[in-house]
Structure 1
Amino acid sequence: MRILMIEDNESVSEMMKIFFMNEKWDVEFKNDGKEGLDAFLENPKSWDIITLDLNLPSMDGIAICQEIRKVSRDVPIIMLSARDSESDQVIGLELGADDYVTKPFSPLTLIARIKALYRRSERVEVMEEAPRLHKTYDVETNHVKMNISTREAYVDGQLIEGLTLKEFDLLLTLAGKPKQVFSREQLLELVWDYQYYGDERTVDAHIKKLRKKMETIGPSIIHTVWGIGYKFDDSGVVEE
């Protein structure tokens, strides 16, 4: 695995370097925001994971995340920050980060998050390379069709533009079992592939983004089940 860690705190970098070496991962460290972005842009397809601090000299993590997503929708991004406000986390996730870890954190927790995102991205690559066997869609409901091979999802025949890796997987999980209610903890385990750490805002932020993209072209079909989680149900929606 090749990781780009954009982090200006030298003690954090030195600490993580030890754990990365134990995993035998190839990691490049950048302590300046602009330098980190430049390192990514030199060869965007070479990185498997990016860890991105929110507060950086020359260019902050929010701006870097936006620039990375202009180039790559799929490279997994874990945002790190000493700030623990809900707005910071939601903004980071809404701009395309796949996960958010608050400092101070356990190195083993970060390692687990990285492994989970990497396993997920590997499974996506395998599915995309698998033969289609004349199958056009993997999921078909009244209003939604999804193709895992092409990573495309449609509402009433119209492509949902700009779906990220996690947004697609989240919709695939919900639409694959219409009307089933998923708790936030279940979605964290199924979509993010790690045990529940108490950060439900990761799920909420991605649901918000997914709904926004879907509802620009079709009906509201991802429903909040108050006190529990979310479900997909388009059975009662009538086409106009």
Structure 2
Amino acid sequence: MANAIQWVRSLIFVIVIYAWMGILGLVFAPYALFSKRGALRACKIYARSTIWLARWMVGIRGEVRGTPPTGEVMVAAKHQSFFDILLIFDAVPHAKFIMKRELMWTPVIGLYAKRLGCVPVDRGKKGAAIAKMVQDVAKEFNEPGQLVIYPQGTRVPPGVKKPYKVGTAILYEGLKNPCVPAATNVGVFWPRTGIMRRPGHAIVEFLDPIEPGVDRNTFMSRLEEEIESHSDRLMRGVGFDPDAVH
């Protein structure tokens, strides 16, 4: 019975947050079309209100640990669900995400992603996509912001292993900025698919930065070890054993 009630609450929550996205998007659209500040303000309001709604409606308490970066850095983050996007976006001054190109054509999301300076990537072209991504990112870094990339390239369920892609290292080398790893456990409560949202303590943790100049192989192994080990620790801290997933 408790699960059924939670599922209904989750369904209402999902309907509310996507309706709220549409309302905010339409209200701020005239402002966002002519001002990047307007787009940023709308998205900040959405992130903060959705984090609050998650706690009130489905019992997910969001927390950010560590020191959110404020300068021009690359944030390489574990990605488990939409909720870690919201927590990161709310925590840093101006996040710019590397995202699938098809999302740029999504109503509301596409408009605001372009105005925020998010960088679309065509994942099907591999080498060509990486070269284009580096070019586009360099152009966007003419303006201040925190570039957010997901080294595994997609949302990964808790406990599932997926390789880290070299595009993160190529950007790190090209931008010559610090890279801040970020770990999370949000997928334990807010999964990447489905309706059900489970109550609990969802955390994003910013880790110590990796300064510029580390060679590619060392960078990739250090990045993966830090993100995975800290994410595993966060998941174990809320009672989820990532080693039990097969």
Same fold (TM > 0.5): no
What TM-score, normalized to structure 2? 0.27
TM-score, length-scaled by structure 1:
0.28
More helix by share: 2
Q: Normalized per residue, which structure has more strand?
A: 1
Which structure is higher in RCO with an 8 Å CA cutoff and minimum separation 6? 2
